[in-house]
Amino acid sequence: MLFLYRRLIAACIIYWKHDANLACPGGHYMRVYLYGNFVVLLALVFTDVALIQNSMAGNVMDEEARKHVVPCIYLRILLEVPEIGWNILGTVWIYAKTVSCEDAPEAVVYMEGGFYCIWLIRLERV
């Protein structure tokens, strides 16, 4: 879960710092990716918070107090699909050279490095 927060904060910093420089060819793809990433990551964070909140209710054997844990887990698993899809789309945009920003090369490097980290963590979970 800590990785989600780091990704969200890093995406916010990149957008805040380089938004004016994303007027380059294909920069709108990077902007769209960052907007979608915000939405997906915020949904995952809220789902994780709800899961933590419901997991802390009652004790382990108190099924009534913890009845919302399973739906939260299912929602969390369901939200993995758009996250993976969005990361595939962003990876294709960056590595197919759809985005070429000479005004903000560090933003492109961050995105490339971020995709390496995302896919390495995905492979680690498998």
Dump pLDDT digits (tens) for 20-47. 666 677 777 877 888 888 888 889 889 9
The domain segmentation of the chain, as residue ranges, is 2-125
**Residue 64, SS3?**
coil
Tokens encoding 7: 């990704």
- Report yes or no: 88 and 25 within 8 Å, Cβ to Cβ: no
- Report yes or no: 74 and 18 within 8 Å, Cβ to Cβ: no
pLDDT in tens, 61-108: 888 888 888 999 999 999 989 988 988 888 888 788 777 777 667 777
Q: At what angle do helices 105-125 and 69-95 cross, to 10 degrees?
A: 130
AA identity, residue 10 = A
User: Averaging pLDDT over each range in 58-62, 80-84, 109-113, which range is the top one?
Assistant: 80-84
Tokens encoding 27: 């920069």
> What is the dihedral sign for C-alpha 69, 75, 79, 80?
positive
Query: Could you give the CA distance from residue 69 to residue 18 in angstroms, rounded to a whole number?
Result: 39
- Report yes or no: 69 and 54 within 8 Å, Cβ to Cβ: yes
